Amino acid sequence: MGGTFDPIHHGHLVAASEVAHRFDLDEVIFVPTGQPWQKSGRRVSPAEDRYLMTVIATASNPRFSVSRADVDRSKMTYTVDTLRDLHAQYPGAELYFITGADALASILTWQDWAELFELAKFVGVSRPGYELNIDHLADHLRGMPDDAVTMIEVPALAISSSECRRRAAEGRPVWYLVPDGVVQYISKRHLYVPAQAEGNGSV
């Protein structure tokens, strides 16, 4: 499951858990992006912070792990590169790429999208506020195996990282939207605090 995870929240975790159960996956690997090309317009938290929050959030689940594949990449992140790397790391493994309804809608704009379907099966999960629909992919999926893209309903959690960042910036709580350890990490690292509101403490 790829994502910016800025920060990781319970919507991501519930989606991953549900897909793991439905497809009987051995492992769900969370892959935080390095420099996300689709978000170049806004300031994204340092990759190391996003990586650590993802580790904290997933640590208690034996089936969840976190990959540094994209965080350690010096160039822009494309899903196709991530999937190639994961194949090299897990030879012979059958890969599934978990993506929310919003991200699935833009899949045709992804780099080398045709190759993506050869590298992994795609699982689109429902997300409140977005329609889960692959009609726009129909032409492109003709001739591909039926399970190239599967759509599943997951428990609806109307949580987004954007909203978590906004809340943190305004001093509103993010408790129970993100795991407890992530609340504490955000506060410890002063993530999402507007620059002028940050203390002048030296470290």
Half-sphere exposure of 188 (CA within 13 A, CB side): 9
Q: What minimum distance in Å lies between the beta carbon of 160 and ligand ATP? A: 4
Half-sphere exposure of 86 (CA within 13 A, CB side): 26
Per-residue contact string for residues 7-46; x = within reach of ligand ATP by CB under 6 A: ----xx--x-------------------------------
Q: What minimum distance in Å lies between the beta carbon of 143 and ligand ATP? A: 25
Please, which of residues 101-120 interact with ligand ATP by CB under 6 A?
102-103
Q: What minimum distance in Å lies between the beta carbon of 91 and ligand ATP? A: 26
Please, which of residues 57-96 interact with ligand ATP by CB under 6 A?
none
- Residue 5 makes contact with ligand ATP by CB under 6 A: yes
- Strand-by-strand arrangement of the 121-125 sheet: 96-100, 121-125, 149-152
| Contact present, 55 and 41 (Cβ < 8 Å) | no
In 3D, which of 37, 47, 56 has the Cα closest to residue 106? 37
> Residue 14 or residue 141: which is nearer to ligand ATP going by CB?
14
